[in-house]
Amino acid sequence: MNRFYTAFQHLDYKTMQDCYSKDAVFNDPAFGLLNGEELRAMWKMLCKRAKDFSLEFSNIKSEDEYGTCNWTATYTFSKTGRKVRNEIKAYMKFADGKIIEHSDAFSLRKWGSQALGWKAWLLGWTSFFQKKIQAISKKSLKEYMVPL
């Protein structure tokens, strides 16, 4: 986990990608469930698009095949130019030294209100809002994954 988050601090998506098994899965409130290819592309996209980015991580706990970590990303959200400070709890499962399952938990309402404004704060707790954000995030990811 330390290697992964240190690489993330440096926006080194190649090292981050290397931390995952080929068929790893990822889940978070903004993207929903992603497969190995999608999650690798997500980290590349997020690292390449990062503006005014900083990351802090702490409280790494790892026992055999499971691990958790607290991390905070601070950045400028590219679509709105708004400053975001997202506090996240990561849960990972490992096999053969690689991440096979990764789930990030954070308040979509809090994130949305920072990134998008008052409408997200108002609607951020609804399943409608979460589905809308996931649809937008996945569409952006799919477009990013299309070769030029």
Regarding pTM above 0.95, the answer is: no
In terms of residue numbers, what domain contains 10? 2-145
Q: What is the pLDDT of residue 118?
A: 77
Give how many domains the chain has, as a whole number.
1
What per-residue confidence (pLDDT) applies to 148? Answer: 47
The CATH number of the domain where 6 resides is what? 3.10.450.50
> Own/partner pairs for 29-37, CB < 8 Å, 24+ apart?
29/104, 29/105, 29/106, 29/107, 29/108, 29/111, 29/130, 29/133, 29/134, 30/108, 30/111, 30/133, 30/134, 30/137, 31/134, 31/137, 31/138, 31/141, 32/134, 32/137, 32/138, 34/141, 37/145
pLDDT score recorded for residue 129 = 79
pLDDT at 124: 65
Strand pairing partners for 124?
Answer: none
For residue 106, give the nearest of 123, 82, 130 by alpha carbon: 130
Mean pLDDT, the chain cut into blocks of 10 residues (148 residues total): 96 98 97 95 96 97 94 94 97 96 95 85 75 91 83
**Contact in structure between 104 and 113 (CB atoms under 8 Å):** no
Q: Rounded CA gap, 143 and 148, in Å?
A: 10
